[in-house]
Structure 1
Amino acid sequence: MSEDATHQAHDLSLRHLLARAALVEERVRRAVDARQATDPNPDDAFRGLYLDDQTVRRLLDEGRTTAGPDATDADQLAAAEAWADQADALRAGPGERGEPNRLQKRTETTTGPTRLRALTREFGLTPLDVEILLIALVPDLDDRFEQFYAYLNDDVTRQRPSAGLALGLCGVSAADAQARGRLHPAAPLRAGGLLLVDEPERPFLARALRVPDRVTAHLLGHDTPDPRVADVLAPWHGDPGTSWRQTPGTSDPASLARAIASGVGLTYVREEQGGAGTALAAAALSHAGRSVIGVDLERLAADPHPTDAVRTLVREARLTGAGLVGAPIDPLTREKPEVIRLVAEADLPVILVGRAPWDATWSARPPLLLPAPRVGPEARAALWQQAHRAPLAAGLDLTRVLSPFLLTPAQVAQAARSAAQVATLNGGEVQAEDVRAGARAQNAAGLDRLARRIEPAVTWDDLVLPTDPLAQLRELAARARHRDRVLGEWGMRPGGGRGRGVAALFAGDSGTGKTMSAEVIAADLGLDLYTVDLATVIDKYVGETEKNLERIFSEAAGINGVLLFDEADAIFGKRSEVKDAHDRYANVESAYLLQRMESFDGLAILSTNLRANLDDAFTRRLDLVVDFPMPDAEQRRVLWERCLGPLLPRAEGLDLDFCAESFELAGGNIRSVAVTAAYLAAESGGPVRMADLIHAVQREYQKLGRLTLASEFGEYVGLLV
């Protein structure tokens, strides 16, 4: 509808509601007349303490309707429903009259103006239910009714209609079991949260009736969600563009919308890291003509009264003709599976999203099970620019920069806003590093408790390696950058439950650059590096090591980072012949790791000094094995120069050529020697001298347990201490 038509429709809906409320006033008028005509003690001195007859009559005369004093209930009802008929005709538009179809019936509350009629259909209310609802509602529309009800209740403190008064105003007997049943907790009015019955300690007929503020606001045309559930609502909406079109075998919004329209009430979308599950769900509901209520299930699990929150969410969805999209389901599976049942069995379209496999015990209603599409690199770039149109730096290839990051549509939008904020500090244009920082900001913090996070501070120029290992490292970075295309679009790793992860082994002596190379790759991809602390993994108790590793892999699945297992042979060792129980359980650990590595979806690097100790089965599962040799003399010369750095003051006559030729040290050892020499220079108050370097080399030899041979130190042997 156009904006003018929407305003007109809203006006007609409000007139319909107020006209129906006027019918309640006529019933109240007759009840007051009957009360005054049959009062056995009209001269009671205390009657005025409550509300005198003249005041009641004056209030009734002020509110007399334009239908006239002689109009019948039927006449006034017909006049009221005429407003609703006009509104329905306006909603349908030319050529769309007649009985609305199933989808139209379910969506009138959001697109149509006849809110009272739509609420009646959605909640399955009978005419008597509607009358009771209106009787309870009118004190919130006109404060005169507080005094009317106080007068009819004969109690100035009771300004809401009682159950008995409501039934009487509807013209039914208080002894009518069917009529009383309309106020039962399982009846539509109360089960749907449209009517509250207060004062349960009173006899049934004396209990007060009231309509929740949210329901009143909805009938008046206001749809701000109930504050009770404001903390658990999530802004999931929209169509994530082409993200699912690049993923063969996954669903699309149109087909899921058809399933919803055909009566599918519960859908479970299982997604991996970077999946578009919530976006798919929201888009499908939009295609089906429904609005979306997104629910953060993690926050719902933390709610002290989740049952009450779920009831409020369901009422919110039914009032607005929406569907529920709940994610992530995983926190509820561990802590409160009963809440899943409450959400899953709501009488409206429900789409749940999570990573855990669906458990049939979660709901008596079988779900439609779907895999979530993953947001492809091109779609990430498109979503980024849709979310925030901050100017990009010239030449910035957004698709390439975002390619290593597995992000959901919501995370892409958040990252775009975060990057735009950072860019304001540097003139407003978004640079590649701003994009990477915004994407990294979406990482969960859980892995920080299990691994040490390193923010990369080195680049390819800092590596000193032979040509072949360096080429292999660049190939590894390329694998991580293009895995969505190769493993996803091109399907180069089908079946077997294999993930889209990339795994590599760095093998070589200590100090040859394995950890630094992992840091360089992380920096090139724009990711953080997480080094697994073996102290948090290895456990002497059977089965605990596997649990610790599972926690690490699970947390790693929620972040965009490089996972480095240093000294990997300690936990990825060879399986051996079983001679005792220790061997058996050690083999179980290795077998578990073989399976878990294959299903891992991220970038994992194993480093070891003892490649021969690794199980051969790991080799097949690795994408690359990079050997790090000891540096030759030429490479050692470069390492000496870089480790001493440009800021450290140097004395004349530092013979770095001699150091490179004579001392066969790895890069890590050379760095340690340079640091020791710098401390010696700082203590002496002068620049680094050759004596400081020789002294530092001697200390490094002592650390390594190597003999200090005079032949190695040549002409500088006299500088030894």
Structure 2
Amino acid sequence: MIFERMAGLERRIRVAVAARRATDPNPDDPFRGLYLSDEVIEALLDSGREPFSPFVSSAADGRLGRLARKASLSEVDVELLLVALAPDVDSRFEQFYGYLNDDVTRRRATVGLALRLCGLAEASSQGRSRLDRGSPLVRSGLVALEDAERPLLSRSLRVPDRVGAHLLGDDRPDPLLTDFVSLSGDPVPMPGAERLARGVERGVRLVYLREHPGGGAAELAVSALARAGFPALLVDAARMTDALAVTREALLRGAGIVVGSVDSNFTLDPLLHEEIPVVAYGPGAWEPRWTRMPPLQHDAVQVPFDVRVSLWRTELDGKLARGIDPAEVTAHFVLGPTQISRAAHAATVSALADDGLVDAGHLRAGARSQNAGGLQRLARRIEPAVSWPDLVLPGTVTSLLRELAARAKHRDRVIDEWRMRPGGGRGRGVTALFAGDSGTGKTMSAEVIAASLGLDLYTVNLATVVDKYVGETEKNLERIFVEAAGVNGVLLFDEADAIFGKRSEVRDAHDRYANIESAYLLQRMESFDGIAVLATNLRANLDDAFTRRIDVIVDFPLPDSELRRGLWDRCLGGSVPRSSDVDLDFLAASFELAGGHIRSAAVTAAYLAAAAGHVIGMVELIGAVAREYRKLGRLVGEREFGRYFELATERLVG
């Protein structure tokens, strides 16, 4: 169809050339177009610039016709597009236009020539409006006006290469877009897509999705556009450099635009077009300054559990080890569809280095690989190396810890399916308070919780949080919470009373701002969607309002004699050679130490034994305990050390 229309244009060119020669005082001048003679000037003064014979052409079919409908092009617009496109399709038109422009160096149609070839006068406001900045041709990027320094009528018209290639049957995307645009794959069925699709089908051209962790806003947008009959162009808002090229590509493909993640500095106006649905998404609320057009707004909440399970199973079909159920292993991971696809691929790659089949460890490692790295700049990442058997705690404490892990595993069912936490702005998070003296196992218990869930542990460094300037502590904590929202991990606030302390009576400005800080933290903790553990040595220092918002409170007591024996045995481990004189019962009964101190003493004893070149015996253990007493500021007394008192004294002196 393009070439048929070009043949019609060629006939008009012949008419134009004949008319040009009929009024040329010297048509055979070999230097025509290189200079202006007196005769030519006289001829120009004697004749006007009338349009060439008007033409009537049939409605366009094929790609040209589809493009005309998508871009709302009139018949005149189509003819102007063909006039501008001609030199890129048939090189003869370069010579034709050079002759008609009376300038051999001007080988593209000018605005004036194009209007006259389309039967329009150069001074026609109707014709000129078809090529101004707001016209369908220019606004859609189908035709570009060059030589901005020239008068309007002598500016050259150019059709971008991508438009010409499309009209000739080439569907490869514009190379200008490769850095920030990708084509969507097969859509994933997503909750909420039907509502958005209905809006698009009924003329909505701007949608904003507020993305929550694990929400899969881009996948939701692609699914909705597919339901409405549009493929999707995925645009990286942070890297976008040419909005006009994006709009043009969407028109050529009959596609919608999915752009994200937008921030406060973004503007949507360059992407908006009455024929192109645009779906923008970001983590924040809609900002009216992004554009004057009101959007259809929708929350892209966490993908439902059954959809996540289906995606895991589809991605890992035929690759799972026997008896491995991805639904059970990954139930507590908050991941969107794209993250699940990448995590499954990472798990598959990891499994290739083992027996080739994906097991629970591979699945969890793949899921953790999708964690953003921003939180590691604000908190120390710990990859758990302990498990339930490593804990030596009273049964009631262990029971509460297992309850905490169960809450994290089953919150999809309880909160989403059973709706046990409606309203109030409450998040989906699980929060625990670990209270007890130093060394009673709080940090290790948090590590065990993370290990049982297959998550990493992130310990918040208070030095990066607390700030002496008013308002800065809240800002630092907000950054931590925002980064933690995109991470599947356990967030540990050690020495939490330093930042979650009690509100006090206001006596001065310092008290007032301290209370504002605590009030902010109360609200922020309540809306947190992750897993957070607050550890403190001084539970009494925490504000009472925190305890109401905490799901599980675990008090870690100092171990009794029986637990201390278990701790000594566990800390010495099975790999350390022991002498036959090691008396764990004596160590447990005589020395009232917390687990952390017992572990420190066991490590010290190991170093003493290694330095002496023999196995660990009571000599090394008593010496290590004596050193631990000194660190704690305790006296090495005969009552505790008994028959080993002299040995302890000698080891300290030595």
Q: When the two structures are superposed, what TM-score results if normalisation uses the length of structure 1?
A: 0.84
Letter in 1 for 2:209: V
2:202 aligned to 248, 252, 262, which one?
262
Say whether 1:233 aligns with 2:181. yes
2:227 aligned to 282, 287, 300, which one?
287
Q: Give the whole-Å Cα distance in 2 for the aligned partners of 1:545 and 1:223.
A: 53
RMSD: 2.2
1:214-363 mapped onto 2 (5 Å cutoff): 214-234=162-182, 238-241=186-189, 244=191, 252-300=192-240, 306=241, 309-329=242-262, 332-333=263-264, 336-337=265-266, 339-343=267-271, 348-363=276-291
1:529-678 mapped onto 2 (5 Å cutoff): 529-678=457-606
Q: Give the whole-Å Cα distance in 2 for the aligned partners of 1:133 and 1:597.
A: 59
Change over 3 Å in CA distance of 1:691–1:359 after alignment to 2: same
1:696 aligned to 602, 619, 624, which one?
624
Letter in 1 for 2:203: G
| Aligned match of 1:508 | 436
Q: Give the whole-Å Cα distance in 2 for the aligned partners of 1:626 and 1:299.
A: 47
Q: CA deviation at 1:156?
A: 3.8
Give the SS at the match of 1:453: strand
Q: CA deviation at 1:497?
A: 0.4
| Aligned match of 2:31 | 46
Q: Give the whole-Å Cα distance in 1 for the aligned partners of 2:304 and 2:33.
A: 76
Q: Give the whole-Å Cα distance in 1 for the aligned partners of 2:551 and 2:186.
A: 37
Give the SS at the match of 2:579: coil
Measured against aligned partners, the alpha-carbon deviations of 1:161-182 in whole angstroms (never above 9, x if no partner) come to 2222222322333233322222
Give the SS at the match of 1:618: helix
| Aligned match of 1:117 | 65
Q: Give the whole-Å Cα distance in 2 for the aligned partners of 1:669 and 1:543.
A: 38
Q: 1:237, 1:283 within 8 Å by CA — same for their partners in 2?
A: no
Q: 1:236, 1:278 within 8 Å by CA — same for their partners in 2?
A: no
| Aligned match of 1:183 | 131
Q: Is the helix fraction higher in 1 or 2?
A: 1
Q: 1:390, 1:430 within 8 Å by CA — same for their partners in 2?
A: no
Structure 2 residues without counterparts, runs of 5 or longer: 36-53
2:319 aligned to 383, 391, 400, which one?
391
Give the SS at the match of 1:299: coil
Change over 3 Å in CA distance of 1:271–1:540 after alignment to 2: same
Q: 2:211, 2:217 within 8 Å by CA — same for their partners in 1?
A: yes
1:108-187 mapped onto 2 (5 Å cutoff): 114-187=62-135
Measured against aligned partners, the alpha-carbon deviations of 1:561-592 in whole angstroms (never above 9, x if no partner) come to 11000011111111111122222111111111
Runs of at least 4 residues of structure 1 off by over 6 A?
A: none
| Aligned match of 1:378 | 306
Q: Give the whole-Å Cα distance in 2 for the aligned partners of 1:23 and 1:345.
A: 31
Give the SS at the match of 1:506: strand
Give the SS at the match of 1:426: coil
Letter in 2 for 1:228: L
| Aligned match of 1:58 | none
Say whether 1:33 aligns with 2:33. no
Measured against aligned partners, the alpha-carbon deviations of 1:141-199 in whole angstroms (never above 9, x if no partner) come to 22232233233334443322222222232233323332222221222211111101111
Q: Give the whole-Å Cα distance in 1 for the aligned partners of 2:549 and 2:321.
A: 39
Give the SS at the match of 1:435: helix
Q: CA deviation at 1:345?
A: 7.1
Q: 1:345, 1:364 within 8 Å by CA — same for their partners in 2?
A: no
Letter in 1 for 2:243: V
Measured against aligned partners, the alpha-carbon deviations of 1:96-152 in whole angstroms (never above 9, x if no partner) come to xxxxxxxxxxxxxxxxxx221122222222222211110111222222322332333
Letter in 1 for 2:255: A
Give the SS at the match of 1:294: strand
Measured against aligned partners, the alpha-carbon deviations of 1:253-296 in whole angstroms (never above 9, x if no partner) come to 22321121112222222231111322222111111111111222
Letter in 1 for 2:250: A
1:75-114 mapped onto 2 (5 Å cutoff): 77=57, 84=61, 114=62
Letter in 2 for 1:129: D
Q: CA deviation at 1:516?
A: 0.6
Q: 1:136, 1:160 within 8 Å by CA — same for their partners in 2?
A: yes
426-435 or 219-228, which deviates more? 219-228
Q: CA deviation at 1:328?
A: 2.0
Letter in 2 for 1:143: S
| Aligned match of 2:45 | none
Give the SS at the match of 1:563: strand
Structure 1 residues without counterparts, runs of 5 or longer: 1-15, 51-71, 85-113, 245-251, 301-305
1:345-494 mapped onto 2 (5 Å cutoff): 348-494=276-422
Q: Give the whole-Å Cα distance in 2 for the aligned partners of 1:263 and 1:45.
A: 58
Give the SS at the match of 2:408: helix
Q: CA deviation at 1:45?
A: 4.2
Letter in 2 for 1:619: T
Give the SS at the match of 1:352: strand
Q: CA deviation at 1:513?
A: 0.8
Letter in 1 for 2:8: L
36-45 or 671-680, which deviates more? 36-45
Q: Give the whole-Å Cα distance in 2 for the aligned partners of 1:634 and 1:234.
A: 63
383-392 or 317-326, which deviates more? 383-392
Q: CA deviation at 1:552?
A: 0.8
Change over 3 Å in CA distance of 1:360–1:46 after alignment to 2: closer
Letter in 2 for 1:544: E
Q: Give the whole-Å Cα distance in 2 for the aligned partners of 1:627 and 1:42.
A: 103
Q: Give the whole-Å Cα distance in 1 for the aligned partners of 2:360 and 2:454.
A: 9
Change over 3 Å in CA distance of 1:45–1:495 after alignment to 2: closer
Give the SS at the match of 2:147: coil
Q: Give the whole-Å Cα distance in 1 for the aligned partners of 2:317 and 2:180.
A: 28
1:51-70 mapped onto 2 (5 Å cutoff): none
1:212 aligned to 160, 178, 182, which one?
160
Q: Give the whole-Å Cα distance in 1 for the aligned partners of 2:183 and 2:613.
A: 61
Change over 3 Å in CA distance of 1:261–1:485 after alignment to 2: same
Q: Give the whole-Å Cα distance in 2 for the aligned partners of 1:228 and 1:115.
A: 22
Q: State the percentage of identical aligned residues.
A: 58
Q: 1:23, 1:73 within 8 Å by CA — same for their partners in 2?
A: no
Q: 1:268, 1:353 within 8 Å by CA — same for their partners in 2?
A: yes
Q: 2:111, 2:155 within 8 Å by CA — same for their partners in 1?
A: yes
Q: Give the whole-Å Cα distance in 1 for the aligned partners of 2:113 and 2:183.
A: 43
Q: 1:163, 1:208 within 8 Å by CA — same for their partners in 2?
A: yes
151-160 or 675-684, which deviates more? 151-160
Give the SS at the match of 2:131: coil
| Aligned match of 1:192 | 140
Q: Give the whole-Å Cα distance in 1 for the aligned partners of 2:605 and 2:324.
A: 43
Q: CA deviation at 1:298?
A: 3.2
Letter in 2 for 1:298: A
Q: Give the whole-Å Cα distance in 1 for the aligned partners of 2:400 and 2:495.
A: 20
Letter in 2 for 1:671: R
Letter in 2 for 1:473: L
Letter in 2 for 1:218: H
Q: Give the whole-Å Cα distance in 1 for the aligned partners of 2:254 and 2:344.
A: 31
Q: 2:141, 2:244 within 8 Å by CA — same for their partners in 1?
A: yes
Q: CA deviation at 1:314?
A: 1.9
Q: CA deviation at 1:211?
A: 0.3
Q: CA deviation at 1:235?
A: 5.5
Letter in 2 for 1:254: E
Say whether 1:22 aligns with 2:7. yes
Give the SS at the match of 1:578: coil
